[in-house]
Amino acid sequence: MPNLESSEWKEIVTHLRTRFPDLMRGWFANLEPRRLHGGALTILAANPAQVRYLNAHCRQPFTEAAQAATGMLISVEFETDQPESVSVAPLSFEHESPEMMLNDDYVFGNFVTGPCNRLAHAAAVAVSESPGKAYNPLFLHGNVGLGKTHLLQAVCHTIRDRVPERRTLYISCETFTNHFIEAVERGALNQFRYRYRHVDVLVIDDIQFLGERERSQEEFFHTFNTLHQSQRQIIVCADCCPAEIPSLQERLISRFNSGLVALVDRPCLETRMAIIRKKAKLRCIEVPEDVVKLIAARVETNIRELEGALLKTDALSQTRDGIITGEIALEALGSLETRRPVTIPEIIDLVSSRYSVRVSDLQGRKRTKSVTGPRQVCMYLARELTNHSLEEIGGFFGGRDHSTVLHGCRLIAESRASDGQLNGNVEELTDLLQKGRSGGRAM
Protein backbone atom coordinates (compact mmCIF):
# COMPACT_ATOMS: atom_id res chain seq x y z
CA MET A 1 0.00 0.00 0.00
CA PRO A 2 2.58 2.60 -1.09
CA ASN A 3 1.99 6.17 0.08
CA LEU A 4 -1.22 5.29 1.96
CA GLU A 5 -1.22 4.31 5.62
CA SER A 6 -3.46 1.46 6.76
CA SER A 7 -5.00 3.83 9.29
CA GLU A 8 -5.93 6.20 6.47
CA TRP A 9 -7.62 3.39 4.53
CA LYS A 10 -9.60 2.40 7.64
CA GLU A 11 -10.61 6.03 8.06
CA ILE A 12 -11.84 6.10 4.44
CA VAL A 13 -14.00 3.01 5.01
CA THR A 14 -15.36 4.40 8.29
CA HIS A 15 -16.23 7.70 6.58
CA LEU A 16 -18.15 5.85 3.87
CA ARG A 17 -19.99 3.63 6.35
CA THR A 18 -21.00 6.68 8.41
CA ARG A 19 -21.86 9.18 5.67
CA PHE A 20 -23.06 6.92 2.86
CA PRO A 21 -24.56 3.76 4.41
CA ASP A 22 -26.95 3.21 1.47
CA LEU A 23 -24.01 2.79 -0.93
CA MET A 24 -22.14 0.22 1.17
CA ARG A 25 -21.96 -3.36 -0.10
CA GLY A 26 -20.59 -6.46 1.61
CA TRP A 27 -17.78 -6.80 -0.90
CA PHE A 28 -16.43 -3.34 0.04
CA ALA A 29 -14.42 -5.20 2.72
CA ASN A 30 -12.38 -6.81 -0.08
CA LEU A 31 -11.48 -3.55 -1.83
CA GLU A 32 -7.78 -2.71 -1.67
CA PRO A 33 -5.95 0.59 -2.13
CA ARG A 34 -3.40 -0.16 -4.86
CA ARG A 35 -1.44 3.07 -5.17
CA LEU A 36 -1.51 6.78 -4.45
CA HIS A 37 0.34 8.57 -7.23
CA GLY A 38 0.02 11.84 -9.12
CA GLY A 39 -2.89 13.05 -7.02
CA ALA A 40 -5.00 9.94 -7.71
CA LEU A 41 -5.80 7.03 -5.38
CA THR A 42 -6.35 3.79 -7.31
CA ILE A 43 -8.57 1.21 -5.61
CA LEU A 44 -8.56 -2.45 -6.70
CA ALA A 45 -11.90 -4.27 -7.07
CA ALA A 46 -12.47 -7.98 -7.60
CA ASN A 47 -14.18 -7.86 -10.99
CA PRO A 48 -15.49 -5.54 -13.75
CA ALA A 49 -19.04 -5.59 -12.33
CA GLN A 50 -17.79 -4.08 -9.07
CA VAL A 51 -15.83 -1.44 -10.99
CA ARG A 52 -18.98 -0.50 -12.92
CA TYR A 53 -20.95 -0.10 -9.69
CA LEU A 54 -18.20 1.97 -8.08
CA ASN A 55 -17.88 4.25 -11.11
CA ALA A 56 -21.64 4.72 -11.39
CA HIS A 57 -22.44 5.38 -7.73
CA CYS A 58 -19.37 5.78 -5.54
CA ARG A 59 -16.75 7.97 -7.21
CA GLN A 60 -17.74 11.19 -5.40
CA PRO A 61 -18.29 9.56 -1.96
CA PHE A 62 -14.89 7.77 -2.16
CA THR A 63 -13.23 11.02 -3.25
CA GLU A 64 -14.76 12.88 -0.32
CA ALA A 65 -13.69 10.14 2.10
CA ALA A 66 -10.15 9.98 0.72
CA GLN A 67 -9.69 13.74 0.93
CA ALA A 68 -11.01 13.79 4.49
CA ALA A 69 -8.69 10.95 5.56
CA THR A 70 -5.51 12.17 3.87
CA GLY A 71 -6.03 15.91 4.03
CA MET A 72 -4.98 16.11 0.37
CA LEU A 73 -6.87 17.19 -2.75
CA ILE A 74 -6.88 13.83 -4.54
CA SER A 75 -9.17 11.96 -6.90
CA VAL A 76 -10.18 8.29 -6.82
CA GLU A 77 -10.04 5.69 -9.60
CA PHE A 78 -11.19 2.06 -9.67
CA GLU A 79 -9.66 -0.87 -11.53
CA THR A 80 -9.60 -4.65 -11.55
CA ASP A 81 -7.18 -7.37 -12.64
CA GLN A 82 -10.00 -9.56 -13.92
CA PRO A 83 -10.95 -9.35 -17.63
CA GLU A 84 -14.51 -8.71 -18.79
CA SER A 85 -16.58 -11.82 -19.29
CA VAL A 86 -16.88 -12.89 -22.89
CA SER A 87 -20.65 -13.34 -22.64
CA VAL A 88 -22.60 -10.16 -23.29
CA ALA A 89 -25.56 -9.46 -21.02
CA PRO A 90 -28.63 -7.85 -22.58
CA LEU A 91 -29.06 -4.10 -22.23
CA SER A 92 -31.18 -3.42 -19.16
CA PHE A 93 -33.21 -0.65 -20.80
CA GLU A 94 -34.17 -2.85 -23.77
CA HIS A 95 -35.47 -5.77 -21.77
CA GLU A 96 -37.62 -4.13 -19.10
CA SER A 97 -41.17 -5.25 -18.53
CA PRO A 98 -43.63 -3.08 -20.49
CA GLU A 99 -45.79 -2.93 -17.37
CA MET A 100 -44.98 0.20 -15.36
CA MET A 101 -44.18 -0.37 -11.70
CA LEU A 102 -46.88 1.84 -10.19
CA ASN A 103 -48.43 1.88 -6.74
CA ASP A 104 -52.13 1.03 -7.08
CA ASP A 105 -52.98 3.50 -4.30
CA TYR A 106 -51.36 6.42 -6.11
CA VAL A 107 -54.36 7.56 -8.12
CA PHE A 108 -56.09 10.94 -8.22
CA GLY A 109 -59.04 9.62 -6.23
CA ASN A 110 -56.77 8.98 -3.25
CA PHE A 111 -54.99 12.33 -3.40
CA VAL A 112 -56.08 14.93 -0.84
CA THR A 113 -56.02 18.48 -2.15
CA GLY A 114 -55.63 21.68 -0.17
CA PRO A 115 -54.09 25.15 -0.45
CA CYS A 116 -50.66 23.52 -0.36
CA ASN A 117 -51.02 21.47 -3.55
CA ARG A 118 -54.10 22.63 -5.45
CA LEU A 119 -52.21 24.06 -8.44
CA ALA A 120 -49.96 21.00 -8.77
CA HIS A 121 -52.96 18.67 -8.58
CA ALA A 122 -54.97 20.62 -11.15
CA ALA A 123 -52.02 20.72 -13.53
CA ALA A 124 -51.41 16.97 -13.17
CA VAL A 125 -55.07 16.23 -13.91
CA ALA A 126 -54.98 18.48 -16.99
CA VAL A 127 -51.82 16.80 -18.28
CA SER A 128 -53.29 13.33 -17.78
CA GLU A 129 -56.31 14.32 -19.88
CA SER A 130 -54.36 16.10 -22.66
CA PRO A 131 -50.74 14.88 -22.71
CA GLY A 132 -48.43 17.15 -24.66
CA LYS A 133 -51.00 19.94 -24.90
CA ALA A 134 -51.95 21.23 -21.46
CA TYR A 135 -48.65 22.02 -19.71
CA ASN A 136 -45.46 20.81 -21.31
CA PRO A 137 -43.16 20.40 -19.51
CA LEU A 138 -44.76 20.06 -16.08
CA PHE A 139 -42.29 20.55 -13.22
CA LEU A 140 -43.43 19.72 -9.68
CA HIS A 141 -41.23 20.59 -6.70
CA GLY A 142 -41.40 20.43 -2.91
CA ASN A 143 -39.84 18.73 0.09
CA VAL A 144 -39.83 14.97 0.54
CA GLY A 145 -43.01 13.12 1.39
CA LEU A 146 -45.51 15.76 0.26
CA GLY A 147 -47.14 13.87 -2.63
CA LYS A 148 -45.05 14.59 -5.73
CA THR A 149 -44.55 10.92 -6.56
CA HIS A 150 -48.26 10.30 -5.93
CA LEU A 151 -49.16 12.89 -8.57
CA LEU A 152 -46.63 11.54 -11.08
CA GLN A 153 -47.96 8.02 -10.76
CA ALA A 154 -51.57 9.22 -10.83
CA VAL A 155 -50.87 10.80 -14.23
CA CYS A 156 -49.40 7.50 -15.45
CA HIS A 157 -52.38 5.52 -14.14
CA THR A 158 -54.86 7.84 -15.85
CA ILE A 159 -53.08 7.86 -19.22
CA ARG A 160 -52.68 4.09 -19.16
CA ASP A 161 -56.38 3.61 -18.40
CA ARG A 162 -57.67 6.22 -20.86
CA VAL A 163 -55.31 5.62 -23.79
CA PRO A 164 -53.47 2.32 -23.20
CA GLU A 165 -51.71 2.48 -26.58
CA ARG A 166 -49.71 5.54 -25.49
CA ARG A 167 -46.14 4.67 -24.56
CA THR A 168 -45.62 6.04 -21.06
CA LEU A 169 -42.24 5.68 -19.36
CA TYR A 170 -42.05 6.38 -15.61
CA ILE A 171 -38.54 6.16 -14.13
CA SER A 172 -36.29 7.73 -11.51
CA CYS A 173 -33.49 10.10 -12.44
CA GLU A 174 -31.00 7.51 -11.17
CA THR A 175 -32.40 4.93 -13.61
CA PHE A 176 -32.04 7.37 -16.50
CA THR A 177 -28.43 8.08 -15.51
CA ASN A 178 -27.57 4.41 -15.02
CA HIS A 179 -29.03 3.51 -18.40
CA PHE A 180 -27.01 6.27 -20.03
CA ILE A 181 -23.79 5.12 -18.35
CA GLU A 182 -24.49 1.55 -19.47
CA ALA A 183 -25.13 2.72 -23.03
CA VAL A 184 -21.84 4.65 -23.10
CA GLU A 185 -19.85 1.75 -21.66
CA ARG A 186 -21.29 -0.74 -24.13
CA GLY A 187 -21.47 1.45 -27.19
CA ALA A 188 -25.27 1.31 -27.27
CA LEU A 189 -26.20 4.99 -27.46
CA ASN A 190 -28.45 4.47 -30.48
CA GLN A 191 -30.53 1.90 -28.60
CA PHE A 192 -30.64 4.16 -25.54
CA ARG A 193 -31.82 7.15 -27.56
CA TYR A 194 -34.46 5.13 -29.35
CA ARG A 195 -35.77 3.89 -26.00
CA TYR A 196 -36.14 7.38 -24.50
CA ARG A 197 -36.97 9.47 -27.55
CA HIS A 198 -39.81 7.34 -28.89
CA VAL A 199 -42.16 7.50 -25.92
CA ASP A 200 -45.36 9.55 -25.78
CA VAL A 201 -45.00 10.50 -22.11
CA LEU A 202 -41.71 10.67 -20.19
CA VAL A 203 -42.07 10.94 -16.40
CA ILE A 204 -38.90 11.28 -14.29
CA ASP A 205 -38.83 11.39 -10.48
CA ASP A 206 -36.13 13.22 -8.47
CA ILE A 207 -34.66 15.11 -11.42
CA GLN A 208 -32.46 17.10 -9.00
CA PHE A 209 -29.96 14.22 -9.07
CA LEU A 210 -29.14 15.21 -12.64
CA GLY A 211 -27.38 18.31 -11.31
CA GLU A 212 -23.91 16.87 -10.73
CA ARG A 213 -23.82 14.73 -13.90
CA GLU A 214 -22.66 16.85 -16.82
CA ARG A 215 -22.79 14.21 -19.57
CA SER A 216 -26.18 12.95 -18.41
CA GLN A 217 -27.45 16.53 -18.52
CA GLU A 218 -26.23 16.82 -22.11
CA GLU A 219 -28.06 13.66 -23.10
CA PHE A 220 -31.24 14.63 -21.26
CA PHE A 221 -31.16 18.06 -22.92
CA HIS A 222 -31.28 16.51 -26.38
CA THR A 223 -33.90 13.96 -25.28
CA PHE A 224 -36.00 16.82 -23.89
CA ASN A 225 -35.75 18.77 -27.15
CA THR A 226 -36.70 15.77 -29.26
CA LEU A 227 -39.79 14.99 -27.20
CA HIS A 228 -40.88 18.58 -26.76
CA GLN A 229 -40.60 19.44 -30.44
CA SER A 230 -42.80 16.46 -31.30
CA GLN A 231 -45.37 17.58 -28.66
CA ARG A 232 -44.80 14.61 -26.41
CA GLN A 233 -45.39 15.13 -22.71
CA ILE A 234 -42.54 15.59 -20.24
CA ILE A 235 -43.20 15.54 -16.47
CA VAL A 236 -40.49 15.80 -13.85
CA CYS A 237 -40.30 16.50 -10.13
CA ALA A 238 -37.59 17.62 -7.74
CA ASP A 239 -37.15 18.74 -4.15
CA CYS A 240 -36.57 22.34 -5.26
CA CYS A 241 -37.40 24.65 -8.17
CA PRO A 242 -35.26 24.44 -11.35
CA ALA A 243 -33.08 27.46 -10.55
CA GLU A 244 -32.09 25.97 -7.16
CA ILE A 245 -30.88 22.59 -8.45
CA PRO A 246 -27.09 22.66 -7.91
CA SER A 247 -24.96 22.66 -11.08
CA LEU A 248 -27.96 22.38 -13.40
CA GLN A 249 -27.20 23.91 -16.79
CA GLU A 250 -28.92 27.21 -17.60
CA ARG A 251 -30.41 25.83 -20.78
CA LEU A 252 -32.16 23.07 -18.83
CA ILE A 253 -33.39 25.56 -16.23
CA SER A 254 -34.80 27.66 -19.07
CA ARG A 255 -36.59 24.70 -20.62
CA PHE A 256 -38.09 23.57 -17.32
CA ASN A 257 -39.31 27.12 -16.68
CA SER A 258 -40.87 27.29 -20.15
CA GLY A 259 -43.69 25.06 -18.92
CA LEU A 260 -45.56 25.10 -15.63
CA VAL A 261 -43.54 24.98 -12.40
CA ALA A 262 -45.85 24.08 -9.50
CA LEU A 263 -45.04 23.84 -5.80
CA VAL A 264 -46.24 21.01 -3.57
CA ASP A 265 -46.05 22.60 -0.13
CA ARG A 266 -46.33 21.30 3.41
CA PRO A 267 -50.02 20.62 4.21
CA CYS A 268 -51.88 22.77 6.72
CA LEU A 269 -53.65 21.23 9.74
CA GLU A 270 -56.99 20.76 7.97
CA THR A 271 -55.33 19.10 5.01
CA ARG A 272 -53.32 16.80 7.28
CA MET A 273 -56.51 15.76 9.01
CA ALA A 274 -58.12 15.00 5.64
CA ILE A 275 -55.07 12.96 4.66
CA ILE A 276 -55.29 10.88 7.84
CA ARG A 277 -58.98 10.22 7.22
CA LYS A 278 -58.23 9.15 3.65
CA LYS A 279 -55.35 6.87 4.67
CA ALA A 280 -57.44 5.35 7.46
CA LYS A 281 -60.31 4.65 5.06
CA LEU A 282 -57.98 3.00 2.53
CA ARG A 283 -56.62 0.71 5.25
CA CYS A 284 -60.00 0.12 6.93
CA ILE A 285 -58.86 1.66 10.23
CA GLU A 286 -61.43 3.17 12.58
CA VAL A 287 -59.97 6.41 13.94
CA PRO A 288 -61.94 8.76 16.23
CA GLU A 289 -61.99 12.40 15.18
CA ASP A 290 -60.11 13.55 18.28
CA VAL A 291 -57.28 11.12 17.44
CA VAL A 292 -57.24 12.35 13.84
CA LYS A 293 -56.75 15.89 15.09
CA LEU A 294 -54.14 14.81 17.64
CA ILE A 295 -51.96 13.03 15.07
CA ALA A 296 -52.35 15.86 12.56
CA ALA A 297 -51.34 18.44 15.16
CA ARG A 298 -48.25 16.54 16.25
CA VAL A 299 -46.93 15.30 12.90
CA GLU A 300 -46.31 18.37 10.79
CA THR A 301 -43.50 17.40 8.45
CA ASN A 302 -44.84 15.29 5.58
CA ILE A 303 -47.44 12.79 4.44
CA ARG A 304 -45.24 9.73 4.83
CA GLU A 305 -44.71 10.47 8.51
CA LEU A 306 -48.44 11.05 8.92
CA GLU A 307 -49.15 7.62 7.47
CA GLY A 308 -46.41 6.08 9.61
CA ALA A 309 -47.91 7.61 12.75
CA LEU A 310 -51.35 6.27 11.81
CA LEU A 311 -50.02 2.75 11.20
CA LYS A 312 -48.01 2.78 14.42
CA THR A 313 -51.09 3.86 16.36
CA ASP A 314 -53.18 1.11 14.75
CA ALA A 315 -50.52 -1.53 15.40
CA LEU A 316 -50.28 -0.54 19.07
CA SER A 317 -54.06 -0.65 19.43
CA GLN A 318 -54.06 -4.24 18.15
CA THR A 319 -51.95 -5.26 21.15
CA ARG A 320 -54.68 -3.93 23.45
CA ASP A 321 -58.40 -4.22 22.72
CA GLY A 322 -58.23 -3.08 19.10
CA ILE A 323 -59.75 0.35 19.82
CA ILE A 324 -57.75 3.46 19.00
CA THR A 325 -57.79 6.10 21.74
CA GLY A 326 -55.96 9.34 22.37
CA GLU A 327 -53.78 7.69 25.01
CA ILE A 328 -52.71 4.96 22.57
CA ALA A 329 -51.99 7.57 19.90
CA LEU A 330 -49.82 9.57 22.30
CA GLU A 331 -47.93 6.44 23.29
CA ALA A 332 -47.42 5.52 19.64
CA LEU A 333 -46.11 8.98 18.89
CA GLY A 334 -43.48 8.52 21.55
CA SER A 335 -44.38 11.08 24.23
CA LEU A 336 -47.30 12.13 26.42
CA GLU A 337 -46.01 15.69 26.42
CA THR A 338 -47.29 17.78 23.54
CA ARG A 339 -44.91 20.30 22.06
CA ARG A 340 -45.81 23.90 22.76
CA PRO A 341 -47.31 25.52 19.64
CA VAL A 342 -45.36 28.46 18.23
CA THR A 343 -47.01 31.35 16.39
CA ILE A 344 -45.52 33.61 13.73
CA PRO A 345 -46.20 36.81 15.76
CA GLU A 346 -44.14 35.29 18.60
CA ILE A 347 -41.32 34.58 16.17
CA ILE A 348 -41.44 38.13 14.80
CA ASP A 349 -41.45 39.67 18.28
CA LEU A 350 -38.50 37.58 19.47
CA VAL A 351 -36.39 38.16 16.35
CA SER A 352 -37.24 41.86 16.44
CA SER A 353 -36.00 42.09 20.02
CA ARG A 354 -32.89 40.01 19.50
CA TYR A 355 -31.71 41.72 16.30
CA SER A 356 -32.86 45.21 17.34
CA VAL A 357 -35.05 45.55 14.26
CA ARG A 358 -38.51 47.09 14.29
CA VAL A 359 -41.45 44.76 13.70
CA SER A 360 -42.75 47.11 11.00
CA ASP A 361 -39.45 46.76 9.12
CA LEU A 362 -39.53 42.98 9.31
CA GLN A 363 -43.04 42.99 7.86
CA GLY A 364 -42.38 45.83 5.43
CA ARG A 365 -40.59 46.22 2.10
CA LYS A 366 -37.12 47.31 3.28
CA ARG A 367 -34.31 45.36 1.66
CA THR A 368 -31.27 46.54 3.58
CA LYS A 369 -28.99 43.81 4.86
CA SER A 370 -29.76 44.67 8.49
CA VAL A 371 -33.43 43.86 7.80
CA THR A 372 -33.38 41.10 5.17
CA GLY A 373 -31.18 38.82 7.33
CA PRO A 374 -33.47 38.87 10.40
CA ARG A 375 -36.52 38.65 8.10
CA GLN A 376 -35.13 35.47 6.54
CA VAL A 377 -34.48 34.08 10.02
CA CYS A 378 -38.15 34.76 10.82
CA MET A 379 -39.28 32.96 7.68
CA TYR A 380 -36.98 30.01 8.41
CA LEU A 381 -38.25 29.65 11.99
CA ALA A 382 -41.86 29.96 10.81
CA ARG A 383 -41.23 27.21 8.26
CA GLU A 384 -39.65 24.93 10.86
CA LEU A 385 -41.84 25.60 13.91
CA THR A 386 -45.35 26.29 12.60
CA ASN A 387 -47.92 24.56 10.44
CA HIS A 388 -48.25 27.46 8.01
CA SER A 389 -47.66 27.02 4.29
CA LEU A 390 -45.15 29.15 2.39
CA GLU A 391 -47.95 31.38 1.10
CA GLU A 392 -49.30 31.89 4.61
CA ILE A 393 -45.84 32.72 5.95
CA GLY A 394 -45.34 35.22 3.13
CA GLY A 395 -48.58 36.92 4.17
CA PHE A 396 -47.02 37.84 7.52
CA PHE A 397 -44.12 39.57 5.77
CA GLY A 398 -45.72 42.08 3.47
CA GLY A 399 -47.51 39.61 1.22
CA ARG A 400 -44.37 38.02 -0.21
CA ASP A 401 -44.93 35.04 -2.51
CA HIS A 402 -43.97 31.45 -1.74
CA SER A 403 -40.81 31.53 -3.89
CA THR A 404 -39.42 34.46 -1.87
CA VAL A 405 -40.12 32.64 1.39
CA LEU A 406 -38.60 29.40 0.08
CA HIS A 407 -35.50 31.27 -1.10
CA GLY A 408 -35.05 32.89 2.33
CA CYS A 409 -35.48 29.57 4.13
CA ARG A 410 -32.92 27.86 1.90
CA LEU A 411 -30.40 30.67 2.42
CA ILE A 412 -30.61 30.32 6.19
CA ALA A 413 -30.45 26.51 6.02
CA GLU A 414 -27.34 26.62 3.81
CA SER A 415 -25.67 29.38 5.85
CA ARG A 416 -26.12 27.46 9.11
CA ALA A 417 -23.69 24.82 7.85
CA SER A 418 -20.84 27.33 7.48
CA ASP A 419 -21.74 30.15 9.87
CA GLY A 420 -21.38 28.97 13.46
CA GLN A 421 -22.71 32.21 14.93
CA LEU A 422 -25.86 32.12 12.84
CA ASN A 423 -26.38 28.45 13.65
CA GLY A 424 -26.06 29.18 17.37
CA ASN A 425 -28.49 32.09 17.11
CA VAL A 426 -31.09 29.97 15.31
CA GLU A 427 -30.75 27.13 17.82
CA GLU A 428 -31.15 29.51 20.76
CA LEU A 429 -34.17 31.23 19.20
CA THR A 430 -35.75 27.85 18.51
CA ASP A 431 -35.22 26.73 22.09
CA LEU A 432 -36.67 29.96 23.51
CA LEU A 433 -39.73 29.81 21.27
CA GLN A 434 -40.50 26.17 22.08
CA LYS A 435 -40.13 26.86 25.81
CA GLY A 436 -42.25 30.00 25.63
CA ARG A 437 -39.49 32.35 26.78
CA SER A 438 -37.93 35.40 25.17
CA GLY A 439 -34.39 36.66 25.40
CA GLY A 440 -33.18 40.10 26.29
CA ARG A 441 -29.69 40.46 24.88
CA ALA A 442 -29.12 41.53 21.30
CA MET A 443 -27.38 39.17 18.95
Q: Which CATH number characterizes residue 255's domain?
A: 3.40.50.300
**What beta strand segments (E) does 59-197 contain?**
75-80, 138-141, 168-172
Bridge partners of 238, per DSSP, are 141
Of the three residues 307, 332, 357, the one that is the final residue of a domain is 332
- Answer yes or no: do 231 and 322 share one domain: no
Q: Does residue 401 form part of some domain?
A: yes
Residue 403 has a pLDDT of 80
Residue 253 has a pLDDT of 93
Q: Does residue 93 form part of some domain?
A: no
Q: Are the beta carbons of 286 and 314 closer than 8 angstroms?
A: no
DSSP-derived letter for residue 112 is P
Instruction: Return the CATH number at 50.
Output: 3.30.300.180
Of the three residues 41, 65, 80, the one that is the final residue of a domain is 80
Q: What is the CA radius of gyration of the chain?
A: 25
Of the candidates 436, 435, 437, 415, the one whose C-alpha atom is nearest the C-alpha of residue 426 is: 415
- Answer yes or no: do 154 and 221 share one domain: yes
Of the candidates 128, 123, 136, the one whose C-alpha atom is nearest the C-alpha of residue 224 is: 136
Q: Does residue 235 form part of some domain?
A: yes
Q: Does residue 91 form part of some domain?
A: no
Cα(239)–Cα(236) distance, integer angstroms: 11
Residue 375 has a pLDDT of 93
DSSP-derived letter for residue 283 is T
- Answer yes or no: do 308 and 369 share one domain: no
Q: How many CB atoms lie within 10 A of CB 263?
A: 22
Q: Does residue 94 form part of some domain?
A: no
Residue 79 has a pLDDT of 92
Of the candidates 426, 431, 402, 429, the one whose C-alpha atom is nearest the C-alpha of residue 414 is: 426
Q: Does residue 146 form part of some domain?
A: yes
Q: Are the beta carbons of 208 and 236 closer than 8 angstroms?
A: no
Instruction: Return the CATH number at 305.
Output: 1.10.8.60
- Answer yes or no: do 145 and 206 share one domain: yes
Cα(21)–Cα(43) distance, integer angstroms: 19
Residue 154 has a pLDDT of 94
Q: Does residue 357 form part of some domain?
A: yes
Of the three residues 332, 366, 381, the one that is the final residue of a domain is 332
Query: pLDDT tens track of the chain, all 443 residues?
Result: 456 888 889 999 999 888 888 788 888 889 999 888 888 899 999 888 889 889 888 899 999 999 998 888 889 999 998 876 544 556 666 655 444 578 888 899 889 888 888 999 999 999 999 998 889 999 999 888 888 999 999 999 999 999 888 889 998 888 898 889 888 888 888 888 988 998 999 999 989 888 778 889 999 999 999 999 999 999 999 988 898 887 889 999 999 999 999 998 888 888 888 888 888 888 888 888 888 888 888 887 778 888 888 888 888 888 877 888 888 888 888 743 445 678 898 999 999 999 999 998 898 888 888 899 999 999 999 988 887 778 788 888 888 887 888 888 888 988 888 888 898 889 889 888 877 655 443 33
Residue 337 has a pLDDT of 45
- Answer yes or no: do 221 and 259 share one domain: yes
Residue 297 has a pLDDT of 85
- Answer yes or no: do 70 and 126 share one domain: no
Residue 336 has a pLDDT of 33
- Answer yes or no: do 200 and 311 share one domain: no
- Answer yes or no: do 155 and 258 share one domain: yes
- Answer yes or no: do 279 and 156 share one domain: no
Residue 25 has a pLDDT of 85
Residue 442 has a pLDDT of 36
How many structural domains are present in the chain? 4
- Answer yes or no: do 40 and 185 share one domain: no
Domain residues for 161?
108-263
Q: Does residue 378 form part of some domain?
A: yes
Instruction: Return the CATH number at 360.
Output: 1.10.1750.10
- Answer yes or no: do 227 and 130 share one domain: yes
- Answer yes or no: do 360 and 306 share one domain: no
